[in-house]
């Protein structure tokens, strides 16, 4: 992905989806991207 790209991620609320959401949240702070809900 390049700067300014957008990625759509579906989260169902299951354990695997919530793990993905938490991981993306941690990575957002580290790599400087934003999550929108």
Query: What is the rounded distance in angstroms from the CA atom of residue 23 to the CA atom of residue 7?
Result: 15
Confidence band, pLDDT 50/70/90 cuts, at residue 12: very high
In this predicted structure, the answer to whether residue 15 has a pLDDT above a threshold of 80 is yes
State what percent of residues in the chain have pLDDT above 70: 100
Residue 18 domain flag:
yes
Residue 26 domain flag:
yes
Residue 1 domain flag:
no
Residue 34 domain flag:
yes
Mean pLDDT of the chain: 87
- Which residues form the domain of 23? 9-37
Residue 33 domain flag:
yes
Specify whether the CB–CB gap between 35 and 25 falls below 8 A.
yes
Structure tokens at 36: 């929108």
pLDDT at 34: 86
In this predicted structure, the answer to whether residue 26 has a pLDDT above a threshold of 90 is yes
Q: Is the whole-model pTM more than 0.85?
A: no
Burial of 33 (0-12, 13-18, 19+ CB in 10 A): middle
Instruction: Specify the number of domains making up the chain.
Output: 1
């Amino acid at each position: 992905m390049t700067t300014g790209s957008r990625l759509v991620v579906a989260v169902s609320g299951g354990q695997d989806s919530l793990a993905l959401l938490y991981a993306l949240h941690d990575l957002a702070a580290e790599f400087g991207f934003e999550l929108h809900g």
